[in-house]
């Protein structure tokens, strides 16, 4: 029987022992706050999750009704945060080589608006997300932002610890730095997030003070245990059945369903776990979050991977704004973002925490189907 790999089921996240037996206190919240304040040179706001942190960062620097430039290949959490802040996302197409908008694409977009006499006045900000840990050309994007009076917010959900140009670490450029501690993010404690407000605020923002719900804390604590049980049962085809049941009875929550809240803070034990991971990143730095490959006949490739014991079905992303169940709500401008649409139909990706030896067979399966030059 082949060894099986369950990407997306908390592989690489906190261990069962750590999640069940780590007990935090007010000192852990304070220590995390102090560490982030020193590292990112700003005022941290500890939040329930990353999307809540992003929404608060946006509310600090923009007015309701403002438009915010967003990467055209992203997750629903980013869209939700912008809308929750009372603003409108403006999706920009991507470069398929790194899954980010480029300075050239941004410039072309802006000139097109001016040429067609569309107003650019309401566009006030730009979210840089460094998709899957692939850095943007930050100096050129910063120049573009300065030229057009845009404020940059850095979203480090995928990219904590990376460097833009071998010397400038992500999170040291924007008016605010936002981190998510959700499942399969750079910092993974299952949930939690933070906004570090680095520049003087336009609007005063109060930090969340309400304690997390008991149900949310319990779900987070037991998530690694539940997913481990699912992995153990999958060889007899019961893992998926158990996971669907746990989701139905709300013992497990899908990442995209982690509700935004502007008044609840991170659990104390997750703050303690996040601090430990952040300190490790601070010492050693970090590379890309996931490797990605563009393939033809993706359904066939996934089927072959499953037959070999690899389960990549929970990859990021299957739509320009994922997951699929929220895609219609976003009303994504597919005609304006053809690269994002194409990539979402072709992409397969998996985390960096698996070894080359572990993934050797998977790469052999993928190689004949590759589109372009994206084979690592």
Structure tokens at 302: 């996934």
Q: How many other C-beta atoms are found inside a 10 Å radius of the C-beta of residue 110? A: 18
Q: What is the pLDDT of residue 44?
A: 97
Of all residues in the chain, the percent with pLDDT exceeding 70 is 91
List pLDDT tens digits, range 181-231.
988 888 889 899 999 999 999 999 999 999 999 888 888 888 888 777 777
Dihedral over Cα of 210, 260, 133, 152: its sign = negative
- Which domains can be identified in the chain, with CATH numbers? 22-197 (3.40.640.10), 287-369 (no CATH)
pLDDT digits (tens, 9 = 90+) for 105-154: 999 999 999 888 778 889 999 999 999 999 999 999 999 999 999 999 99
* Candidate from 30-34, 235-239, 290-294, 338-342 with smallest mean pLDDT: 235-239
What's the pLDDT score for residue 235?
Answer: 64
Q: Between 374 and 174, name the one with better pLDDT.
A: 174
Tell me, what's the pLDDT at 313? 66
Residue 3: pLDDT band with limits 50, 70, 90: very low
Quote the pLDDT of residue 5.
47
- β-strand pairing of 193-197 with 176-180: antiparallel
The rounded distance, in Å, linking the Cα atoms of 9 and 5 is: 9
| 375 pLDDT above the threshold of 70 | no
Q: If 0-12 CB within 10 Å is exposed, 13-18 middle and 19+ buried, where does residue 175 land?
A: buried
Please report the pLDDT score of residue 376 as a whole number.
43
Name the average pLDDT for the chain: 88
Residue 314 has pLDDT above 90, yes or no: no
Return the pLDDT at 12.
54
pLDDT for 1 equals 31
Q: Give the pLDDT score at 10.
A: 42
pLDDT for residue 116: 82
The more confident residue out of 366 and 14 is: 366
pLDDT tier at 330, thresholds 50, 70, 90: very high
What is the rounded average pLDDT of the residues 279-300?
79
Share of the chain above pLDDT 90, in %: 59
Distance from C-alpha of 118 to C-alpha of 55, rounded to nearest angstrom: 26
Strand partners for 178: 155, 195
Residue 230 confidence (pLDDT): 75
Using an 8 Å Cβ cutoff, are 174 and 153 in contact?
yes
Whether the pLDDT of residue 20 is over 70: the answer is yes
Residue listed under structure tokens 């004949």: 368
Q: Both ends of the chain: CA-CA distance in Å?
A: 27
* Residue appearing with tokens 């601070």: 282
User: Confidence class of residue 279 from pLDDT cuts 50, 70 and 90?
Assistant: confident
CA dist 195 to 42, 55, 208, 225, 290, Å? 9, 9, 11, 29, 23
Nearest to 291 by CA among 312, 306, 276: 312
Secondary structure in 3-state letters for the chain? CCCCEECCCCCCCCCHHHHHHCCCCHHHHHHHHHHHHHHHCCEEEEECEHHHHHHHHHHHHCCCCCEEEEECCEEHHHHHHHHHCCCEEEEECCECCCCECCHHHHHHHHHHHHHCCCCCCCEEEEEECCHHHCCCCHHHHHHHHHHCCCEEEEECCCCCCCECCCCCECCCCCCEEEEECCCCCCCCCCCEEEEEECCCCCCCCCCCCECCCHHHHHHHHHHHHHHHHHHHHHHHCCHHHHHHHHHHCCCCCCHHHCCCCCCECCCHHHHHHHHHHHHHHHHHCCCCCEEEEEECCHHHHHHHHHHCCEECCCCCCCCCEECHHHHHHHCCCHHHCHHHHHHHHHEEEEECCCCHHHHHHHHHHHHHHECCCCCC
CA dist., res. 105 & res. 96, Å (int): 12
User: What's the whole-model pTM score?
Assistant: 0.91
What pLDDT, on a 0 to 100 scale, did the predictor assign at position 13? 67
Per-residue model confidence as pLDDT tens digits over 51-107: 999 999 999 999 999 999 999 999 999 999 999 999 999 999 999 999 999 999 999
Whether the bond between 350 and the residue before it is cis, its omega within 30 degrees of 0, is no
């Amino acid at each position: 029987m082949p060894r099986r790999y369950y990407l997306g089921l908390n592989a690489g996240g906190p261990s069962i022992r750590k999640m069940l037996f780590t007990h935090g206190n007010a000192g852990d919240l304070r220590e995390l706050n102090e560490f982030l304040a020193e590292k990112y040179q700003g005022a941290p706001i500890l939040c329930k999750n990353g999307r809540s942190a992003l929404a608060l960062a946006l509310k600090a620097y923009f007015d309701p009704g403002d438009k915010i430039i967003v990467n055209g290949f992203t997750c629903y959490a980013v869209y939700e945060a912008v809308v929750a802040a009372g603003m409108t996302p403006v999706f920009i197409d991507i470069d398929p080589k790194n899954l980010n908008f480029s300075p050239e694409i941004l410039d072309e977009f802006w000139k097109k608006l001016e040429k067609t006499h569309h107003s650019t006045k309401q566009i006030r900000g730009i979210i840089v997300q460094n998709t899957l840990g692939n850095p943007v050309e930050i100096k050129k994007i910063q120049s573009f932002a300065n030229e057009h009076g845009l404020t940059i917010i850095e979203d480090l959900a995928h990219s904590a610890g990376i460097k833009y140009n071998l010397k400038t670490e992500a999170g040291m450029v924007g008016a605010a730095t936002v981190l998510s501690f959700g499942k399969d993010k750079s910092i993974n404690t299952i949930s939690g997030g933070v906004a570090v407000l680095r520049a003087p605020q336009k609007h005063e923002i109060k930090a969340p003070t309400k304690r997390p719900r008991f149900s949310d804390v319990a779900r987070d604590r037991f998530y690694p245990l539940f997913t481990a049980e699912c992995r153990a049962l999958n060889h007899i085809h019961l893992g998926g059945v158990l996971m669907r049941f746990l989701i139905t009875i709300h013992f497990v929550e899908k990442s995209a369903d982690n509700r935004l809240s502007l008044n609840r803070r991170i659990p104390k034990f997750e703050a303690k776990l996040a601090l430990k991971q952040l300190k490790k990143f601070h010492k050693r730095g970090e590379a890309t979050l996931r490797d990605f490959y563009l393939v033809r006949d993706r359904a066939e490739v996934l089927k072959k991977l499953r037959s070999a014991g690899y389960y990549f079905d929970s990859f990021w992303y299957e739509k320009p704004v994922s997951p699929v169940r929220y895609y219609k709500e976003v009303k994504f401008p597919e005609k304006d973002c053809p690269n994002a649409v194409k990539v979402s139909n072709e992409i397969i990706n998996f985390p960096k925490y698996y070894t080359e030896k572990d993934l050797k067979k998977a790469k052999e399966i993928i190689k004949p189907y590759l589109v372009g030059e994206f084979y690592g």
